[in-house]
Amino acid sequence: MTAGTDDSKPAPSNVRGAAYPRIHADLRVTFQVSVPTATSVRLQPGGHESGLGSSTMDLARGEDGTWTVTTPPVLPGFYYYWLLVDGVAVNDPSSETYFGHGRSTSGLEVPDPSVDFYQIRDVRHGEVRTRWYRSETTGSWRRCLVYTPPAYDDDHTTRFPVLYLQHGAGEDERGWTTQGRANFILDNLIDAGAAKPMIVVMNNGYALEPGEVPTTPPYSPEQTARLADSFRDLILRDVVPVIDTAYRTVADRESRAIAGLSMGGRQALDVGLKGLDTFAAIAGLSAAVFDPIDPDRDYGGVLADADAFNERVRLLWLGAGTGERRFDEALASMESVLTKQGIRHQAYRSPGTAHEWQTWRRSLQALAPLLFRD
């Protein structure tokens, strides 16, 4: 199938000028790569059960040494993927790379013709600011990304609430804007009056204390606990004071929320529920919390007294995709404990999406309008 003779278009995630991957009107995707020397080329979708499918696909060799495959129709969304060239994992030179799976990984954006809530539209846009700050917790300079809403510089007095928003395992602070398009989601919601103008702060979720050597998962329970402690220290001791100093925030707990996805969801629940002096709204998106919650033991016991909790917390929000069984079950388990405890909470389920960015884009779209309401 030749580019330009059918209804297909280059994916928006292609590098400048690359003709492939191409997305067809029925959402089949054609990948093509030139590797004359290879004896086999396969397409490997990242993750499990995503809208790109879950198994590898063989590319077929053409006479000129290009290899091509067209997938069945896929679901709209963002997908990590790579190619297996004679078994070696390589990025597709035609696609942009995104930090996922602990490295720079090819990504494919499949537009959803039915929605534009995460597209750049003809509305006012906020900025995404890269800020460097010194962390006492890690003993290093760190980078965070800060979304400021479109009206931020309209005057010098208005103050804004702050959402702290965390990425998942193997990703970094760039994930929520680059893969997740959080800035465009907020721009569109704010333009429509559907969400309050807010600042969004995105940090790297890996925080090691000075001298600690980085390791890769799986982590022992002790490592997991130590990483959680470091990250909580980072947010509460380092980041929140930096943000409240550098930006025109409303510096009180009612105007701070913390949310995250997957590993970041577990972190958001941990930091938020143990940090109710700092946060009054807490959200776990596909939160990686797989052990049943024990209200008396977990999160410093704050879930034990429902009346006190409900009085103090403005929003406890949980989300998952219906296509990510393990996380959907984790959500159901959490809901059941919370309901039994009488803890007020809200839950959201993204229809048909798995452990992937489309779930989290939709989750942010559902969550943001609920934040910082009286």
Q: What residue ranges bind a second copy (CB under 8 A)?
A: 15-17, 35, 37-38, 85-91, 93-97, 99, 102-104, 120, 122, 125, 127-132, 134, 141, 146, 153, 156, 172, 177, 206, 214-216, 246
Nearer to a second copy, 24 or 129 (CB): 129
Nearer to a second copy, 131 or 196 (CB): 131
**Single-letter residue type at 288:** A
Nearer to a second copy, 39 or 277 (CB): 39
**DSSP structural state of residue 249:** B
> What value, to the nearest 5°, has the Cα angle with vertex 270 and ends 216 and 241?
95
Give the containing element (helix H, strand E) for 332. Answer: helix 325-341
Nearer to a second copy, 216 or 220 (CB): 216
Shortest distance in whole angstroms from residue 96 CB to a second copy: 6
Say how many CA atoms lie within 13 Å of 268 toward its Cβ. 33
Nearer to a second copy, 28 or 131 (CB): 131
Cis peptide before 161 (omega within 30 of 0): no
Shortest distance in whole angstroms from residue 154 CB to a second copy: 11
Cα–Cα dist 32/19, whole Å: 9
Shortest distance in whole angstroms from residue 133 CB to a second copy: 8
Nearer to a second copy, 37 or 55 (CB): 37
Query: Which has the closest alpha carbon to 32: 6, 75, 5, 71?
Result: 71
Cα–Cα dist 254/23, whole Å: 44
Residues in the chain: 374
Shortest distance in whole angstroms from residue 277 CB to a second copy: 27
Four-residue CA torsion sign, 132, 134, 140, 144: negative
Shortest distance in whole angstroms from residue 38 CB to a second copy: 6
The token pair at 7 is 């209804």
Nearer to a second copy, 142 or 274 (CB): 142
Shortest distance in whole angstroms from residue 66 CB to a second copy: 13
> What value, to the nearest 5°, has the Cα angle with vertex 47 and ends 45 and 48?
95
Nearer to a second copy, 84 or 236 (CB): 84
Judged by phi (left if over 0) then psi (alpha if -120 to 50, else beta), residue 77 lies in: left
Cα–Cα dist 97/107, whole Å: 6
Which backbone phi and psi does 96 adopt, to 5 degrees? -60, 155
Give rounded-to-5 percent helix, strand, coil for the chain.
25, 30, 45
Shortest distance in whole angstroms from residue 69 CB to a second copy: 17
Nearer to a second copy, 83 or 354 (CB): 83
Q: How many helices (H) and strands (E) does the chain have?
A: 8, 19
